[in-house]
Amino acid sequence: MPGRSIEDNSDTIKYRGVDDFLDVARRQYDALQQLKTNQQILKFRSVAEKEFDILSADDTRPCKFVKLQYHRPTELLLVKVIPSWDHENLIFLVRKLIDRQLIAMDVDLECLTLGSPGNELGDWVKEPDVCWAPAFSSNKPTCVIEIGTSESTSHLSVDAHDWLEALQSPVQAVITISFKYLYAETDENPLSISVWEKGRRLSSVDTQNNLSPAVRTAHVDIWNVAGSLSVSGFYYDLDMQITVCNDEIYLPLEVFIGRPPSRPGEHDVVITQDKLLWIVHQLWEYRRHRGIFQ
């Protein structure tokens, strides 16, 4: 898959069955919960397809706190361990901001908001954190969210390329969110959000699969300086090919409902500066109530 290297197996774990897999995943989960690490990604090698089917099927899945990515030709399994409530709260907050706007525009019935269904992307099977699909598209996601801790920032970038650049991928936009899990209250850059979209198709006859490369079209950083929050970022215009400073996130309505705005009151989805700051404040408040304020 474009964007991902699978040759380096130096940090992989030999797969030794479901019980051992569950033990390794649970130890990583416990370490994340206890704030001893922010490393989410585990890599298992030699995972036969029948074993992956057991790990991923709803009726046989041994644990619910992981997201899976599986590469059939190499039998490589990437496991993202979900670090407790922060991850779920982020999904809830961003999803709520987006779904509220879709409801306000009366287009919410034109799309489906899905949890983490397995998606076939070439040789890979991938599970997003959350995704949207036009209601009449056989549940094929067109916009997905991937969330990671600070150790997973580079992994999130690769994820975005994977979703967008896979042959015949239906995904049109990927939202990646990096949250400084260990020191959320004191880190100077606790939250970063990027939007990735399909760029202009490369037309050279020598280009593999006539690829439309993934392009980061927006990025915002939320800063915490002496207890004062601020937002900075940029927006890249694919048509004009120019970059401008921006402190909001714009998401094309088409990536949610399969068509551009066409009726009165319809517009692209916008996460404003105020809402970005609200996300961080809400995360802090949730953590305070759980007794993990740093």
pLDDT along the chain (294 residues), means of 10: 52 95 96 88 96 92 92 95 87 96 97 86 90 87 91 84 91 96 91 92 50 91 94 93 95 96 97 98 91 61
- How far apart CA 38 and CA 8 sit, in angstroms, is 22
Q: According to the model, what pLDDT value does residue 259 have?
A: 95
CA distances from 88 to 85, 95, 283 (A): 5, 10, 10
Domain that holds residue 70: 13-81
CA 199-151-3 angle, 5° bins = 30
Q: Is residue 1 part of a domain?
A: no
CA distances from 224 to 152, 188, 231 (A): 20, 5, 9
**What is the amino acid identity at position 58?**
D
Same domain, 137 and 41: no
CB 108 within 8 A of CB 100: no
- How far apart CA 112 and CA 133 sit, in angstroms, is 5
Q: According to the model, what pLDDT value does residue 86 have?
A: 87
Same domain, 109 and 68: no
Q: According to the model, what pLDDT value does residue 110 have?
A: 96
Q: According to the model, what pLDDT value does residue 7 have?
A: 47
Same domain, 130 and 258: yes
Q: How many alpha carbons fall within 13 Å on the CB side of residue 58?
A: 4
Same domain, 37 and 178: no
CB 158 within 8 A of CB 3: yes
Same domain, 179 and 208: yes
Same domain, 56 and 140: no
Same domain, 61 and 157: no
Same domain, 55 and 100: no
Q: According to the model, what pLDDT value does residue 205 have?
A: 47
- Report how many domains make up the chain: 2
